[in-house]
Amino acid sequence: MTLLTTWPETGPDALVRRTSDPVEIAAALAPIGVRYEQWPVREDVPADADSDTVFTAYRAEIDKLNAEEGFQTVDVVALHPSEDPQWPAKAAAARQKFLAEHTHDDDDEVRFFVAGAGIFYLHVAGEVHAVYCEKGDLLGVPRGTTHWFDMGTSPAFTAIRFFHEEDGWIGNFTGSPIAERFPDFDEIHAGYAA
């Protein structure tokens, strides 16, 4: 289940909002320009499915979103635990890339979770919104929105990425240590799963 937790930007000592209701989540995020919706989950698509399988399963939804938004590039990104002895180092490096607060000047950050989970932290208007996304969730973070992403210390997800620009993901890092003040993926996931 998806979870939205909102705190003041000063830290997680005070809670502004916490909900797992998809309608409430969409309504809370809409005023800051963030798109949240749920697509039908294809239970026959394995968590580690290849790109062709994912594209085939979600073709109707991808085509509809492309028609609405005019995306130039759509791809599938996946990160799942592996027996590879290099896996822990690869996972840590992948996670570190997104943990710092940043913006995107030229594109929105739009992701649909085919499998697994991740958290987008949105720092907007004096608040931090942690959106725990799972299988079936689509989140669209508008260009210019200050945010960061955490996939946890043992990433396990498959997501469809949508880009208006062919260059893809280009982050402008703010240099702020704000992400260090808030619960990370592992903390939120452990509390949510309990």
Q: Is 165 annotated as a binding residue?
A: no
Are 149 and 97 in contact by the 8 Å Cβ rule? The answer is no
What CA–CA distance (Å, rounded) separates 194 from 192? Answer: 5
Q: Any binding-site annotation on 189?
A: no
- Pull the structure tokens for residue 80: 């799942």
Q: Consult the annotation and say whether 102 binds a ligand.
A: yes
Q: Is 147 annotated as a binding residue?
A: yes
What is the C-alpha to C-alpha distance for residues 13 and 154, in angstroms, rounded to an integer?
A: 26
- Residues annotated as binding site? 102, 104, 109, 147
- Residues annotated as binding site for Fe(2+)? 102, 104, 109, 147
- Residues annotated as binding site for Ni(2+)? 102, 104, 109, 147
